[in-house]
Structure 1
Amino acid sequence: MKNLNSIEEFEGLKNGERVLFVFSADWCGDCRFLDPILPIIEEKYAQYEFIQIDRDEFIDLCVNMDIFGIPSFVAYEKGVELGRFVSKERKTQQEIEAFIDSL
């Protein structure tokens, strides 16, 4: 999974084809729980570009997007938010896949 490098990159990506932003942090235990699962999900949903956003590095972006819990997921297509799965709760593979299926 590619990591976000700048706000400008974020703006460009969200205006492109299907992209799924994954908000995370190195210290987040629930985020690390997803580490072995995310490559499986990324492969299954290859129509999306998965981009990881470090919450600590992009705290202003998280505040502006109302991302107050991690891990969280926000999907965009051509600049339009398709949906969000945002909370501070641990997420399972089934919950993440159900979210993506609902988009």
Structure 2
Amino acid sequence: MGNCWRKKRYSDDCSKHKIGFGSGNVSVINTKESWDEKLTEASKNGKIVVVNFSASWCGPCKSIAPFYCELSEKYPSLMFLSVDVDELAEFSSTWDIRATPTFYFLRDGQQVDQIVGANKSDLQKKIASHAK
């Protein structure tokens, strides 16, 4: 389904285009330190982490964000994070994000699964399978 190829941030102020990537039980990651804290917390609690690498300018990211937030409430046994690839560009590049949205599933900080694109059905199936 839909995805956006990575593009450079526009020179104008993108903050007016922000959407609610952090509602529900989704934690928005703004720093490497907050990333490390959440992964440590997830490891301690034996939780799988679902990470939504997205961008405020990406149409498919905007369309799937509310669904992602709904899933975060439906599956509290998982930890849901959201990373804006423009706000944390250097960090995101270490995860080799080539399109948005990209969803990673992590166990003890290591990738165990991935989805590229805004396919609601695939996302729901993967999240449900990892919640078991």
**What does the per-residue CA deviation read over 1:22-44, in whole Å, with 9 as the maximum and x for residues that have no partner?**
11111110001113312221122
Q: Runs of at least 4 residues of structure 1 off by over 6 A?
A: none
Task: Identify the residue that residue 42 of structure 1 maps to in structure 2.
Answer: 72
Segment drifting more, 9-18 vs 44-53: 9-18
Q: Which of these two proteins has the greater Rg computed from alpha carbons?
A: 2
**Are residues 1:97 and 2:103 paired?**
no
Partner Cα distance (2:113, 2:129) in 1: 8
Aligned residue runs from structure 1 range 80-95, under 5 A: 80-85=110-115, 87=116, 89=117, 91-95=118-122
RMSD: 1.7
Q: Give structure 1 stretches of 5+ with no counterpart.
A: none
Number of residue-to-residue matches in the alignment: 100
Distance verdict in 2 for CA 1:15–1:82, change over 3 Å: farther
Aligned-residue identity in percent: 25
Partner Cα distance (1:55, 1:6) in 2: 12
